[in-house]
Amino acid sequence: MIPVHELLSRIRWDAEFAAADFVIGYYDRTSGEILRVPFARLGFPPDDHFRFTLVDEEGAVHNIPYHRVREVFRNGERIWCREG
């Protein structure tokens, strides 16, 4: 299985592959649930290779480590899932 950081890079840089609707599911420690967010709400700081940022509905910025990503959907179909 491809590492999640490589998949997210492909979504960012491969225009043909990225011409789709992507949703990322990550584990939220506060709620204990997997939360799904549109890829468009994510940010990728150029100097940080271990996490991405997420802006929530209230405008707060959260840092999400790649290891908390549990699933990735493309056009509603799960294309990646972390085992366990």
Q: What is the pLDDT of residues 41-66, one digit of tens each?
A: 999 999 888 999 998 888 899 999 99
Instruction: Output the pLDDT for position 57.
Output: 85
**Structural contact between residues 8 and 52, judged by C-beta atoms closer than 8 angstroms:** yes
Kindly report the pTM of this predicted structure: 0.90
Alpha carbon distance 72, 30 (integer Å): 21
Instruction: Output the pLDDT for position 56.
Output: 84
Across 29-76, the runs of DSSP E, i.e. the strands, are: 33-38, 42-43, 51-55, 61-65, 69-74
Assign 84 a pLDDT band (cuts: 50, 70, 90).
low
> Pick from 5, 19, 24: which is nearest to 79 by CA?
24
